Each structure stands twice: as structure tokens, then as C-alpha cells.
């Protein structure tokens, strides 16, 4: 078989331990960045709501905030990406359990 058949996203079957650890580390870093982004977006939205809510807010600001709260597109995409990364980490852990020799 060719090397391409033994490789998934750059992880070869020849040295699974080091490659899997490196991929897992990268996935965890990506997941942490997504979690930080989601928290930052939530904090920014709360700050905007605090600044622009109440009787002093214009109708345009109120409409914008209502639309933003209703759609939350960016957070939906980030949450989907985080779920995908968690699933990939679960696959890696399962693979490690299957390939780790038991004594």
C-alpha cells in the first residue's frame, strides 16, 4: 500500500505515538482559542447591551441588538467548530486506547 493510504491528515501509522500527541496538542490549542473567542464575544455583547440599552438607546441600536441576539451567527459557527474539535479529540483518544498495548 502507498504511504497515502496509511496517512490521515498527516498522521502516519508508522509512528503513531508522537504524531498523535502532536495532533492532539494542536487540537487542544485550537479548542482553547475557540473557547476564548466565544467568551470574548459574549463579554463584548454584554458590554454593548449595557452601554446601549434603556431609554437612551436609539431605535436603530435596539433593532441591531435584537437582531444580533436573535441570530448569533458567529457564535453558532464557533460552537460548531468546537464540537468538531471535541469529536476529533474523542476519536484520537479512542484510537490511542485501541492501539495502546495492555500489560
Give the DSSP H/E element, type plus range, for residue 56.
Answer: none
Instruction: Give residue 32's pLDDT.
Output: 93
The C-alpha atoms of residue 95 and residue 26 are separated, in whole angstroms, by 17
Helix, strand counts (H, E) of the chain:
3, 2
- Quick check: 69 and 35 in contact, CB under 8 A? no
For the chain, give every domain's residue range. 19-99
List the chain pLDDT tens, one digit each, 103 residues: 334 434 445 545 556 567 888 889 999 999 999 999 989 888 887 887 777 666 666 777 777 777 776 666 777 888 899 999 999 999 988 887 777 776 6
Amino acid at each position: 500500500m502507498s504511504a497515502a493510504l496509511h496517512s490521515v491528515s498527516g498522521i502516519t501509522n508508522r509512528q503513531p505515538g508522537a504524531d498523535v500527541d502532536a495532533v492532539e496538542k494542536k487540537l487542544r490549542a485550537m479548542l482553547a482559542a475557540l473557547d476564548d473567542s466565544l467568551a470574548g464575544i459574549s463579554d463584548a455583547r454584554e458590554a454593548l447591551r449595557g452601554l446601549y440599552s434603556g431609554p437612551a438607546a436609539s431605535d436603530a441600536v435596539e433593532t441591531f441588538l435584537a437582531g444580533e441576539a436573535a441570530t448569533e451567527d458567529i457564535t453558532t459557527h464557533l460552537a460548531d467548530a468546537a464540537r468538531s474539535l471535541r469529536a476529533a479529540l474523542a476519536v484520537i483518544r479512542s484510537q490511542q486506547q485501541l492501539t495502546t498495548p495492555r500489560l
